[in-house]
Structure 1
Amino acid sequence: MHDLKWIREQPDTFDAAMARRGLAPQSPRLLELDRERRRLHQDLQEMQTRRNEASKEIGQQMKAGEQDAAGRAKQEVADLKRRMGEVEAREQQLQGELDDLLAGLPNALADDVPDGEDDGDNVLVRSWGTPHTPDPAKQHFELGEATGEMDFELAAKLSGSRFVVMKGEVARLHRALGQFMVDLQSNAHGYQEVNPPVLLRDDALYGTGQLPKFGDDLFRTTNGFWLSPTAEVPLTNLMADEIVAEGDLPIRYTALTLCFRAEAGAAGKDTRGMLRQHQFEKCEMVSIAHPDTSWDELERMVGCAEAVLQKLELPYRVVTLCSGDTGAAARKTYDLEVWLPGQGLYREISSCSNTGDYQARRMKARYRPAEGKGTRFVHTLNGSGIAVGRALIAVLENHQQPDGSVRIPEALRPYMGGRETILAGGTPA
């Protein structure tokens, strides 16, 4: 949500920010609604003042025996009451239109976000590790299906496309990855572990910006709950309608949860394998930060995500998303892209974003400064720390051996009972 005061004071700057998002000027309509709403509010206040005055006059006139004057005053009060109801209804209608327009607009991008149309215009920041391609380089589903421990046909029988059934050592490796990630983020990086609900109300999705615009990307239950698309939603909404002390910032949360995505716009994309699933697990990081330190917090969060990939010995690169590829709620986003030798490509495995006060305004998340009066909006950040299914893909493909086995990175071995490899056929070493 945008600050309406900012739009009033700097409409050209606001329109320039929306132009970077590919939108026509938005301030004329917003300010027109705002002016009309404020005029009606002023009229309402004036009518209320006059109504109070007329009500006092009635008593005085009745006491003085001025029945005709009292009758006229009573009629004026009745007329004012009727008109006030009409004006109030119109004011509420305009407020609703204004709120709907503001809620549907994307965040203003940070000045250093590069302009561009799509992921081809993203900018490389740094890379880590040396990509290698085994010979032969099998994709994860070839490795998993060869052992019988990654079954897409069985999942389709249960649930349809974009699901997988994992068994045996592959299932254990998947579980080990999730536990390793949440342990690293909570124990080493200072994020407090949270186990949040994955059934969410409308307000929670509105607060982080998925609603009202992106409902088609979500799953909804028959009794009106939404299935969480990412733990960013419940973790960030822990701050909804809250006021914290300035000294309590930053607040950092992490969670390992199931996530659900309709993948409405992904028809025909990555239909084979686990890259794009309706149901997956992800270790999420959320930071509630002071406005003065949120950009430093973003860099820290990216480093926490990078640590996962480094410990898993996975080559990756960090890119800054361009204007055309940055999500609607974000001011700036870094993507971590992991090397997948089976595809011969880097693929996104984590996104870390600073949303500024965009989400905080929607959910009324504030802090109380140590000095001065009033409250101010916090800044919220979110990042994957990281996507478990894609990490499984990357481990299988990057650590595959010529005999069909997969080497387990040292960081995961304590979670795998000390095993060093998963052999072809799923037999542990």
Structure 2
Amino acid sequence: AVTELDQAIALWQARTLALDYLRTATDSGNERQQIVESLQSLEGVGPRRVAQLLPLLPPPLDSAGAIPGKISEIRASDDRDEVSVTYSVFLPPEYHHEHSYPVILALHAEGKTTAQEAAFWAGSDQKAGQAARHGYIVVAPEYQSKPNQTQYDYSVLAHTRALQALRDAGNRFSLDFDRVFLSGHQMGGDAAFDLGFSHPDLFAGVIPIAGVSDQVCQFYWENARNTPFFIILGQLDRDTVARNERELERMMRHKFDATYVEYIGSGPDSFYAEIHTLFDWMSRLQRSRWPRRIDAKVLRPTENRFDWLEIGEPPTPNRLVRNESNRKTTAKPLKVEAEVYQPANRIEVFNKTSRTRLSMSPEGGFINFDKRLTINVNGRQRFSEFLKPSVEAMLQSARSTGDRRNVCWAVVEL
């Protein structure tokens, strides 16, 4: 605790300025720069204080009328967002912004609404569901790229809407970003496979229910080597078992953390009978913070960030063309690798795109800020300097992701 009045006032001013920064619009670059300068001018408030302050901040945006214990609808359409997205959200009855809550990002089936998908986890006004009993927030986005869609289309827009809903919820509520679980039914299960393979670093676990691992998933399954999957299928549900065999066999053979449940004699179903098992499974998992090694395959421009590494658009030979998004495509995924070597304080990156951007943190000994950092890209030294913690990097990371607890201390752009 701070006992000196001057220091307490400075910290309160820093809190106000940090919240102002997180609330700024996308095109308010000058305003954000002025806020950073004001923060840096406060005596006794440096990067270390800001890193301590960020996890304690309340959500910067209002709750848009969401009521704990009920399913509410939110439309994220302010000027912070690239595209508008509507999502249903459920807050547990005991919700309070000073406590962070695990999250289920739930993708609805064809012909179903976001509220119906949220109700699978959260229950109704008459009967509380398991999300209410276990203290989970449920975010169910309208991710479809076209109205009344009956098949998942593996589009960039679907990715953008689903992830934007998660980010918007993070700016309105207290989410535990280390315990975000992705799930979906039928068409939403297809999307869960796709998003889970494409952005595995965002999720503590992935739960496709009656979904199919299809199209580009054949290239991406290796991305999920460190992300647990819980896959539920019905034996007689169309041809889902046969269509999932390829990726399931690969994941099992390579000893991925994958649980497979098949209901013998069952056709299309929500498989609600698994709900208690699913919450028990989720209770044991959380995302790995600041992993030392990254191995990823990329085909689409939306897959430009993995944990602490951000890249540019894939070169043309490695970029998926929209009408080639099927099993016969000849696209060649771009392989991206990065690894941190300690105690050498060295990073090796293999990346053939035009951009390499790294987010750095001292958490868990990931990077030593008291020692010169060396970064080699494609075998060539591109950086050899002492890193300086940056207030602007901390604030911008929290603003762009909605995650105020995993603090990025510095950014290196190469």
Give the TM-score taking structure 1 as reference length.
0.24
Q: Greater CA radius of gyration, 1 or 2?
A: 1
Give the TM-score taking structure 2 as reference length.
0.25
Larger % of helix: which? 1
